[in-house]
Amino acid sequence: MIGPNDALVFGPGRPFHAMVLAYTTALVGVGIIWDTTVVLPYEDDHQFKFLNGKVRDAGGGLFPMERVNEARRGENSAGMEPTVNALTSMLLNSAYEAVRKHSDKGPVFEFLRHLRNAASHGQKFNFRDPNHKGKGGEPSRPAVWRGITIDHNLQGRQNPIYGTSFWALLEPVDILLLLYDIEETLIAAGH
């Protein structure tokens, strides 16, 4: 098991490599956008020329410096925190969908499944009540990762974390560590 100070390496060919690379690259950009001390080497009319479209011309009318300047003037209503939330939710959804067919339904995969579901509900845990539309309640199985437990004995609104943000349990680097642990499990199982 990787230690708290060991480097997390999501190398090429590993299940989450591209997703984690995109996530961490985007987080670097988020920090730069809101850091007014960083001077970016772009003119205000710079476009993403590498983005080709079938309906729109190359660049798609995306002017990144407009977004940067809006953020730095405080005009961007999203802000840094909602942007990190959105990026993290995209990572959790993509990561779960990429490996769900290999899930052993064990406690760690269940933990990821509940985070993915929370990511799809505004980063809030949303568990189904028992007998909702003839289905069983959630959480339905033990969900445990590195000492953090989502209690499966209390389902639906009775669960103490129902409606709370997954940020109450984890920070972004913890989510990367969870994905690393799942990658290690998948690789050890030959996936």
SS3 state at 144: strand
Residue listed under structure tokens 């997390």:
8
pLDDT over 90 at 23, yes or no: yes
pLDDT band at 166 (very low <50, low <70, confident <90, very high): very high
Arithmetic mean of pLDDT, 156-181: 94
What pLDDT, in 10s, does the model give residues 24-40? Answer: 999 988 888 888 888 88
For residue 149, what pLDDT is reported?
96
Helix/strand/coil percentages in the chain, nearest 5: 45, 5, 50
- How is residue 1 annotated by DSSP? -
Q: How far apart (Å, rounded) are the C-alpha atoms in residues 181 and 115?
A: 15
Mean per-residue pLDDT for 100-110?
A: 95
Return d(Cα 163, Cα 90) in angstroms, integer: 19
Contact assessment for residue 21 and residue 40, using Cβ atoms and an 8 Å cutoff? no
Task: Give the pLDDT confidence of 42-77 residue by residue, as tens digits.
Answer: 777 666 666 666 776 655 566 777 778 888 888 766
